[in-house]
Structure 1
Amino acid sequence: MIGIISFPPPSLQQRFAMMAKGRVAAIISVTFITSIASLGLYTYISTILDNLKDTPSLAPYLWAWGIGGVIGSFSVGYFIDRTARPKMLMAGILTIMAFAMFCIPFALPFPILSFLPFVLWGAMGWASQAPQQHELLRLQPNHGAAVVALNSSANYLGSAVGSALGGIVLLAGLTPSSLPFAAGCLVLAALLVQWLIISSNRKRGNAKNMSDLMQ
């Protein structure tokens, strides 16, 4: 019988130490910012549609977002396996998400195209967790459950922060039609952090290769 190696759950001190690690903190920060933008904006779909388009029903747009989410969550694993580059995949997800958000105000006047940004937004939002979890598990293989839970906590905290920020900026006078642009800019900020992660890993890999050649 083959024994299964199990590791005890990390202590509170170890959990804080994980959060303090630069690469883990960077990945978690991308999850947090992405959630602020995506789930925060989702809170105000009704307000945005009322402001931008006189639509009789919110349901078709929620369906479009949800169908996109199902597509994204079911297909992202395939792309992770095929590309074996979850960091680059995450960068692509953020790029498409930002594009979808920026397109919402421009696509709404067109009957068919108006649903496309919501499908893309939903697909990218639901797909964004898997590449992050993949990288965190690679960095913390001995405490996978804890680090994935940390990522999920950042996701839900970002949702709450995004909803609160949306209400604050609306109370401050920002029009609902501007919310997709604000959320898109936040996604671009997450994309910038993601590219810094990719660049850092490339430099680390190049330094390792040089070290190996010199030995």
Structure 2
Amino acid sequence: MHNLADIDYITPYLWAWGIGGVIGSFSIGALIDRTGRPGLLMAGILAILAFAMFSLPFGLKFPILAFLPFVLWGAMGWASQAPQQHVLLHLQPNHGVATVALNSSANYLGSAIGSALGGIVMLAGLAPSQLPFTAGCLVLVTLLGQLIIIAKK
């Protein structure tokens, strides 16, 4: 945040991310039930998440709009688990507990690996101000994979 917009006090942005997380985690179940299309919802989640990542550096220049990318990031990040779990439970109804546990473990492992890789690329010279763009590009690659999955059905 300091490298992007000379912001040293990040607590309000963390609050915005957390409020978004509450909104996303509480609303995604109803959306899955209403649409019955968790794969398509996941594509939408990824598209909004990419938008949030790419808009984060630009939004920080506008006082009130600066919080929107953080709210979206939190909402989409926390909403992304339920569509995955919904599909996995549909594919493995007799092994639901193990399937959801493995999915959770895979998500935490991915977070750890992503953090380690982020640190490595920063040590190699990537400026912290470039992290949102790098994350946005990774989300776009994931979105492409999700669209391929949807197209094969």
TM-score, scaled to structure 1: 0.70
Q: 1:56 to 1:181 in 2, by over 3 A?
A: closer
Moved over 4 A (4+): none
Unaligned runs of 5+ in 2: none
**Alignment partner, residue 101 of structure 2:** 149
Deviation at residue 61 of structure 1 after TM alignment: 0.5
Equivalent position to 1:82, from 18, 30, 34: 34
Q: Give the number of the structure whose alpha-carbon radius of gyration is greater.
A: 1
**Alignment partner, residue 148 of structure 2:** 196
Given residue 130 of structure 1, which amino acid in structure 2 is its aligned partner?
A
Equivalent position to 1:73, from 25, 31, 40: 25
Given residue 73 of structure 1, which amino acid in structure 2 is its aligned partner?
S
**Over residues 153-193 of structure 1, what are the superposed CA-to-partner deviations in whole Å (9 max), with x where a residue is unaligned?**
11100110111111111111111111001111111111111
Mapped to 2, the partners of 1:116 and 1:83 lie a distance apart of 25
Q: What number of residue pairs does the alignment pair up?
A: 153
> Percent of counterpart pairs with the same letter?
75
Q: Tell me if 1:52 matches 2:12.
A: no
Determine if contact 2:2/2:8 at 8 Å carries over to the other structure.
Answer: no
TM-score, scaled to structure 2: 0.98
Deviation at residue 56 of structure 1 after TM alignment: 3.9
**Alignment partner, residue 137 of structure 2:** 185
Determine if contact 2:38/2:84 at 8 Å carries over to the other structure.
Answer: yes
Which structure ranks higher in relative contact order (CA pairs < 8 Å, sequence separation ≥ 6)? 1
Q: Tell me if 1:62 matches 2:17.
A: no
**Alignment partner, residue 138 of structure 1:** 90
